[in-house]
Amino acid sequence: MILFKKSAVIAAAVFLCLLLLSCMGLSAVSSAGARRAEYCVVLDAGHGGVDPGVLGVVSREKESNINLKIVQKLQTMFADAGFCVVLTRKNEGGLYGLPTQGYKRRDMEKRREIIQDALPNLVVSVHQNNFVSDPNRYGGQAFFREGDEECKKLAESIQARLNGLSGKEVSPLSGDFFMLRCSDAPSVLVECGFLSNAREEALLLTDEYQTKVARAVFEGCLAYLC
Ligand SMILES: [Zn+2]
């Protein structure tokens, strides 16, 4: 029996998945005459502007900046695979207009509007975690919309790959997050790691680890769709 390396098997599975999706997308375009790819994903980089999210325990780097960098890597991966990709936040600014009273509500409503206009097949919101009372806590965590089996399956697929990065065995959790209730499409919120853990913070600040996290999320989405 020939033994394949695990990475080679994963690469082959991703290739086959992409091939299948591209064939399905092409048939949809030819029959409907649509210019848009069949599969649309909305990528949401959490926070932004006057809302930095949490701060790195050592570097004080803003969560919002790390979220955006990981989303931009995901954008490239999904676009290269033939997806229509829509970003809620494209730069470091928030989506609230002027940072006056009620900015957070306006920011969230704008994100919902973008998601609903996109008619997405998937929604992925990217965040970083924080748990100051236990600085040893680490690892990615995927959240799904409570009571939604499709969201749960998507979260399980992503969580399995995040566990591969952290070496932990955790299950996805249900969460009552606004971003999970913006669309009927399978939606997940991914906390990529803990900025309250100095070791994980150092990893999350590197381009290399941001790419690994993005790839885990991307492959988790592809495996779910296939
Ligand atoms: Zn956050």
Its CATH class, for the domain covering 39-225, is: alpha beta
In the reported structure, the alpha carbon of residue 11 is separated from the centroid of ligand 1 by a whole-number distance in angstroms of 31
Ordered by start, the domain boundaries in the chain are 39-225
Residue 26: per-residue pLDDT: 38
Check pLDDT > 70 for residue 15: no
In the reported structure, the alpha carbon of residue 149 is separated from the centroid of ligand 1 by a whole-number distance in angstroms of 24
In the reported structure, the alpha carbon of residue 147 is separated from the centroid of ligand 1 by a whole-number distance in angstroms of 22
Summarised one tens digit per residue, pLDDT across range 107-119 is 999 999 999 999 9
In the reported structure, the alpha carbon of residue 4 is separated from the centroid of ligand 1 by a whole-number distance in angstroms of 39
Residue 27: per-residue pLDDT: 38
Distances (CA, A) of 184 to 14, 134, 203: 26, 35, 34
Please give the helix or strand (H or E) that residue 189 lies within, else none.
Answer: strand 187-194
Summarised one tens digit per residue, pLDDT across range 41-87 is 999 999 999 999 999 999 999 999 999 999 999 999 999 999 999 99
Q: Which of 186, 132, 158, 136 is nearest to 70 (CA)?
A: 158
Summarised one tens digit per residue, pLDDT across range 155-183 is 999 999 999 999 999 999 999 999 999 99
In the reported structure, the alpha carbon of residue 2 is separated from the centroid of ligand 1 by a whole-number distance in angstroms of 45
pLDDT band at residue 2 under the 50/70/90 scheme? very low
Residue 142: per-residue pLDDT: 98
In the reported structure, the alpha carbon of residue 63 is separated from the centroid of ligand 1 by a whole-number distance in angstroms of 7
* Strand ranges across the sheet with 84-87: 84-87, 40-45, 122-129, 187-194, 141-144, 173-174
Prediction pTM value: 0.88
Check pLDDT > 70 for residue 38: yes
In the reported structure, the alpha carbon of residue 106 is separated from the centroid of ligand 1 by a whole-number distance in angstroms of 17
pLDDT band at residue 23 under the 50/70/90 scheme? very low
